[in-house]
Structure 1
């Protein structure tokens, strides 16, 4: 199966992924949409954060670290004129768990951001990427 994006109406679209999932994209009301779903650029950013989170979880679980929660706060800036690419992206990764050392987290972030996460590596071609983290028990 291949991915497909289908127009609904105005600026609304339904995406059908190759893995069999559906997502809704729409424009804001101020741009002629109906605000029924995420904006395409938001999905791009969340895809990169999801990719990073997946890698970090896999690396830390493989290192036998006990993770009880993880989230990524995202701050970003875009170019002022078209194409309005992301110019600065800051992923702040918050990890909760037991006996998680900074060395393991730093290694996981480095591996994800430099080797495994194709999405964030691709975004780094136009944006300055910053990765910070916070550990909580």
Structure 2
């Protein structure tokens, strides 16, 4: 894997994965950016959320858990003016007929194998999780 970042203007950059995908990184206007994209720290949190969603989906298929909706909210906080995340709270919302026990087991396996989550854990970030089972509309 390789990522390449190219400055575009002000504090904004274009980040590519060298497979044809790109994102714009910038910082908010109140921090002297132009707010043309998510900050690098926001992208990190977005990556964690996306990783949990993707890995849960893969594990759920292996466990034969069918679902009609899956969302992951990831909230990062920085206590005591820390320069990076000290805590992350993840809420997984799923619409499924599967039992809560089966969903919990799926999430446990997801958390053991999510590469981004493993990095957060190794960095000492306190991460908490909760599952909310959605009712079919």
* TM-score, with length taken from structure 1: 0.89
Q: 1:122 aligns with which of 93, 116, 119?
A: 119
Q: Which residue of 2 aligns with 1:91?
A: 90
Match of 2:38, SS state, is coil
Give 1:34 shift.
0.4
Does structure 2 conserve the Cα–Cα contact (< 8 Å) formed by 1:15 and 1:24? Answer: yes
| Structure 1: runs of 5 or more not aligned | none
In structure 2, distance between residues paired with 1:2 and 1:55: 21
Match of 1:38, SS state, is coil
Give 1:61 shift.
1.7
| Structure 2: runs of 5 or more not aligned | none
1:39-78 paired onto structure 2 within 5 Å: 39-78=39-78
Does structure 1 conserve the Cα–Cα contact (< 8 Å) formed by 2:48 and 2:74? Answer: no
Query: CA offsets, 1:8-48, max 9 Å, x none?
Result: 11110001113320101111111221001011101101101
Give 1:51 shift.
0.7
- Name segments (4+ residues, structure 1) moved above 4 Å: none
In structure 2, distance between residues paired with 1:12 and 1:109: 36
Q: 1:113 aligns with which of 101, 105, 111?
A: 111
Cα RMSD after superposing both structures: 1.5
Alignment length (residue pairs): 134
Does structure 1 conserve the Cα–Cα contact (< 8 Å) formed by 2:63 and 2:106? Answer: no
Query: CA offsets, 1:53-85, max 9 Å, x none?
Result: 111111112222221111112222114445x12
Q: Is it true that 1:3 corresponds to 2:3 in the alignment?
A: yes
Does structure 2 conserve the Cα–Cα contact (< 8 Å) formed by 1:61 and 1:67? Answer: no
